[in-house]
Amino acid sequence: MFILDELNAYLEAFKLRFKRQRKGQTDAQASDALTATFEDKIKPKLEAIEMQREAFHSEFKKRSRKLHFIFLPLSIVISLLIVAAGGDGSYFSIILITFLAGSCWAYKPALDYIHLYKQRVLPLIVTMYGDFNYSLKSNVTKEELKAWAIAPNFDYLKTEDYISGTIDNMGFEFSELLLEKGGRNGRTTMFQGCIVTFTMPFDFNAHTMVKQDLGKVANWLSKAPKTTKKVALENVVFENVFEVFSTDQVLARYILTPVMMEQLLSLYNMFMKKANATCLECEFVGNKAVFFIRYRENLIEPAWISQSAYDLNALPLIEQEIELLTSISKQLNLDIMASRKVSSAS
């Protein structure tokens, strides 16, 4: 298991080469709450992190120089000499192998710094929004995900950036997901984005799904469970984006009020703008409300290793992203729905 974890870590380090190395520049300023938290709780703990960042950055630069100015040129020379001596062109694969293995090795210090920063700083930031905890990975299982009707078909699961806790009187969980399907030609990405789950203090007493409207053919290929029926709603704009299925037409309309539909559209547009979202689907069943949001960005990422840990400008975008995720309940009036249900039951 240890060897497998190490190999996965080096693979993640290799992916950093092609990921965005610096958070996108924004005009957003840190909120007063974040500034106060930074000065009082975060900054005093940054001295050790900054020292390690400098060490990681120095090691990263050394390894990168060795890769680009020693290992890669040497692999090119060796490949050319072998071919010149009569070897076939397959020996040029030495260059590719050197690049792949060398990138894993060179970018590993940068990955180690990102993990260190997240483990030390993000737990302090998430407490600004409620009784929350943060960890690098979620313990959600494949079986748990596959139990959701809106989950895609997949074989392999990877999680990142798990936030859990309570909002008002609801349980809250967020995790970034990468779901892949195995095949003859390797793995295919079935879903990349996040899952947000709310545990309500009541039961919905129906199974309702809001699915992306993909067109007639695609909708037919991804039919909802036979136990559900399509729900016709009066919001034309909403129905152009989503399709709704439920085991109870009346309860589905109780959930998807006109305000709720407008807020779902607003939420989708917000994620499209801030995270390049391409799909938002949700499901209400039992005492759970779950959202699968597909997007291209990698949320909750600190600044690149070259930027000082003391730089407050690295945090406003993370703050915006966490606030976006944790405010879904209020944006969709889930907190109001929960309060009404609890008060009516008592």
- Per-residue model confidence (pLDDT) at position 171: 92
Domain of residue 19, residue span: 2-202+287-345
330: tokens are 């209020």
Which of 19-28, 76-85, 177-186 comes out lowest in average pLDDT? 19-28
In a domain, residue 230? The reply is no
- Per-residue model confidence (pLDDT) at position 269: 87
- Per-residue model confidence (pLDDT) at position 225: 58
In a domain, residue 265? The reply is no
Which residues, in sequence order, are CB contacts of 50 under 8 Å at separation 6+? 308, 309, 310
The answer to whether residue 22 scores a pLDDT higher than 80 is no
In a domain, residue 278? The reply is no
The answer to whether residue 25 scores a pLDDT higher than 80 is no
The answer to whether residue 35 scores a pLDDT higher than 70 is yes
Domain count, the chain: 1
End-to-end CA distance of the chain, in Å? 50
Amino acid identity for residue 98 in this structure = T
Provide the 10 A C-beta neighbour count for residue 229.
14
Q: What is the pLDDT of residues 50-63, one digit of tens each?
A: 999 999 999 999 99
Q: What is the pLDDT of residues 80-115, one digit of tens each?
A: 999 888 888 888 999 999 999 999 999 999 999 999
Which of 24-28, 99-103, 282-286, 329-333 comes out lowest in average pLDDT? 24-28
Q: What is the pLDDT of residues 115-126, one digit of tens each?
A: 999 999 899 888
C-alpha 153/C-alpha 183 separation (Å) is: 13
What average pLDDT does the segment 189-196 reach? Answer: 94
In a domain, residue 215? The reply is no
pLDDT band at 342 (very low <50, low <70, confident <90, very high): low
- Per-residue model confidence (pLDDT) at position 217: 40
Asked whether the beta carbons of 194 and 325 are under 8 A apart, the reply is: yes
In a domain, residue 13? The reply is yes
- Per-residue model confidence (pLDDT) at position 220: 45
- Per-residue model confidence (pLDDT) at position 224: 55
In a domain, residue 222? The reply is no
pTM (two decimals): 0.85
In a domain, residue 211? The reply is no
What average pLDDT does the segment 169-175 reach? Answer: 92
- Per-residue model confidence (pLDDT) at position 77: 95
Q: How buried is 305 (Cβ within 10 angstroms: 0-12 exposed, 13-18 middle, 19+ buried)?
A: buried
Q: What is the pLDDT of residues 267-315, one digit of tens each?
A: 888 888 877 889 999 999 999 999 999 987 778 888 889 888 888 776 7
109: tokens are 């210090």
In a domain, residue 326? The reply is yes
Question: 239 versus 87: which is more confidently predicted?
Answer: 239
Q: How much is the mean pLDDT over the chain?
A: 86
- Per-residue model confidence (pLDDT) at position 327: 81
Q: DSSP alpha helices (H): ranges in 67-211?
A: 72-84, 93-126, 142-146
- Give the CA count within 13 Å in the CB-facing half-sphere of 288: 17
